[in-house]
């Protein structure tokens, strides 16, 4: 959260490296969509599809590609990537509380933990033996960091998240509330029908600049570590099982589940609800559309899907019944083809 609340267009232009067109002294104290933004707010046109909104916007200024600025008479900040510029501007108006450095009186911090003086430890947080917390890091209320785990610099661990023992978080890692890092992987040996637990003695290692959503869980490795590489972004309610490796800059949307020992490449995108089976290798730059069931390794970059399209329930029921006789249909089609092939086509009329 910034303490400055008003910016002039010239200040913003300089910050963003934008070409300013219009009044450099115009004051901006917020950012919003083109339809909602008022005269003291910045709007942005990231998707040419919304070009029509430019005409009616009341925004005090607009972030625009030079090519889209033709015919727009208002204040404008021209730059190549308005969406990225919006990301940078939004940060200025973020009201997320920024706690002061120091350890709250109710926090329980082990005498053997090393907490940087510039870090903030919130109410009722627990920082166990030999934990390391880096400079500028914020550990919010109710967070538990268990023995020997390391949290880098400028991390933000939101309220009630948990990091189990011996895990490693790099710098600028963000964990949202309810995220659980380092819980036991689902490893059991079967002993004549009974399940015997396998102690999970690997760790979770999270590299720099990783963002992890609310109630997401990442299990510790069985023997090897579970590894999340640099710049990975993970949404809410994602389940990442033991020994999984996620390549750098991969994006994982909500409700995805990734089973044990699977390796996902870099620059992949997993849309919401995707399920990935265990022990697979997914190469770099693969996209999965929503709810895809991934049961095979992938070696060719590109987009992959599964599932059936939505219909009215009435017609879906028919489709579902037919599907079960698809194998039969295929066989009958083949027989019919053979039969017809044997029938001489009638002679053409003379």
Ranges within 104-133 binding its own copies (CB under 8 A) = 104, 106, 108, 122-124, 126, 128-129
Rounded least distance, CB 120 to its own copies, Å: 13
What secondary structure letter does DSSP report for 347? P
Dihedrals phi, psi of 348, to nearest 5 degrees: -60, 140
CA dihedral angle for residue 146, residue 152, residue 158, residue 163, rounded to 10 degrees? -20
Is 87 among the residues that bind its own copies (CB under 8 A)? yes
Instruction: Name the catalytic one among 32, 165, 242, 279.
Output: 242
List Cα–Cα distances, 347 to 158, 343, 344, 350, in angstroms.
81, 12, 8, 8
Q: Does 301 bind its own copies (CB under 8 A)?
A: no
- Candidate residues 67, 117, 339, 350; the one interacting with its own copies per rule CB under 8 A: 339
Our CB check for its own copies shows the closer of 24 and 310 to be 310
In the complex, what is the shortest distance from the CB of residue 159 to its own copies, in angstroms, rounded to a whole number? Answer: 4
Least distance (Å) from its own copies to the CB of residue 23?
Answer: 23
- Nearest Cα to 64, choosing from 50, 89, 81, 84? 81
By CB under 8 A, tell whether 84 contacts its own copies: yes
Our measurement of the distance from residue 110's CA atom to the centroid of its chain's CA atoms, rounded to an integer in Å, reads 33
Cα–Cα dist 244/340, whole Å: 53
Among 25, 67, 111, 340, binds its own copies (CB under 8 A): 340
Report the run of H or E that residue 7 belongs to, with start and end.
Answer: strand 7-8
The answer to the question of residue 160 lying near its own copies (CB under 8 A) is yes
Q: Which of residues 37-76 bind its own copies (CB under 8 A)?
A: none
CA distance 33 to 211: 25
Looking at beta carbons only, is 51 or 201 nearer to its own copies? 201
Report CA dihedral (286, 290, 293, 298) to the nearest 10 degrees. -10
Residue of 23, 29, 254, 283 that binds its own copies (CB under 8 A): 254
Whose tokens are 């940087």? That residue is 116
Which residues, 224 to 243, sit near its own copies by CB under 8 A? 224, 231, 233, 235-237, 239, 241
Instruction: Tell me which of 57, 146, 150, 226 binds its own copies, using CB under 8 A.
Output: 146
Among 151, 155, 253, 270, binds its own copies (CB under 8 A): 253
242 labelled catalytic: yes
Q: How far apart are CA 215 and CA 173, in angstroms?
A: 15
CA dist 244 and 143 (Å) reads: 24
Site for its own copies contains 137 (CB under 8 A): no
The catalytic residue positions are: 242
């Amino acid at each position: 959260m910034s303490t400055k609340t008003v910016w002039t267009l010239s200040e913003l232009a300089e910050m963003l490296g934008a070409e300013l067109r219009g009044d450099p002294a115009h004051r901006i104290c917020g950012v919003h969509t083109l339809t909602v933004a008022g005269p003291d707010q910045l709007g942005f046109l990231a998707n040419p599809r919304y070009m029509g909104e430019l005409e009616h916007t009341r925004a005090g200024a607009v972030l625009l590609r030079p090519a889209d600025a033709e015919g727009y008479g208002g204040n404008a900040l021209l730059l190549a990537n308005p969406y990225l510029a919006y990301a940078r501007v939004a940060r200025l108006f973020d009201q997320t509380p920024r706690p002061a450095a120091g350890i709250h009186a109710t926090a329980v911090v082990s005498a053997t933990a090393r907490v940087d003086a510039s870090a903030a430890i919130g109410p009722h947080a627990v920082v166990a033996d030999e934990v390391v917390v880096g400079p500028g890091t914020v550990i919010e209320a109710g967070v538990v960091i268990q023995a020997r785990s390391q949290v880098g610099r400028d991390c933000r661990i939101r309220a009630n998240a948990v990091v189990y023992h011996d895990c490693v978080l790099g710098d600028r890692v963000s964990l949202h509330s309810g995220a659980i890092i380092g819980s036991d992987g689902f490893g059991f040996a079967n002993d004549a029908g009974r399940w015997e637990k396998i102690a999970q003695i690997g760790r979770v290692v999270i590299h720099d600049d990783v963002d992890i959503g609310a109630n997401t869980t990442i299990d510790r490795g069985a023997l090897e570590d579970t590894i999340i590489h640099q710049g990975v972004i993970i949404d809410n309610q994602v389940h990442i099982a033991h020994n999984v490796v996620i390549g750098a800059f991969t994006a994982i949307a909500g409700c995805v589940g990734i089973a044990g020992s699977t390796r996902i490449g870099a620059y992949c995108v997993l849309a919401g609800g995707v399920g990935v089976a265990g022990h697979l290798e997914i190469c770099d730059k693969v996209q999965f559309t929503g709810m895809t069931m991934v049961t095979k390794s992938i070696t060719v970059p590109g987009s992959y899907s599964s599932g059936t399209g939505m219909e009215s329930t009435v017609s879906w029921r028919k489709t579902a019944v037919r599907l079960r006789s698809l194998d039969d249909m295929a066989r009958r089609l083949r027989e019919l083809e053979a039969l017809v092939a044997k029938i001489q086509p009638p002679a053409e009329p003379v």
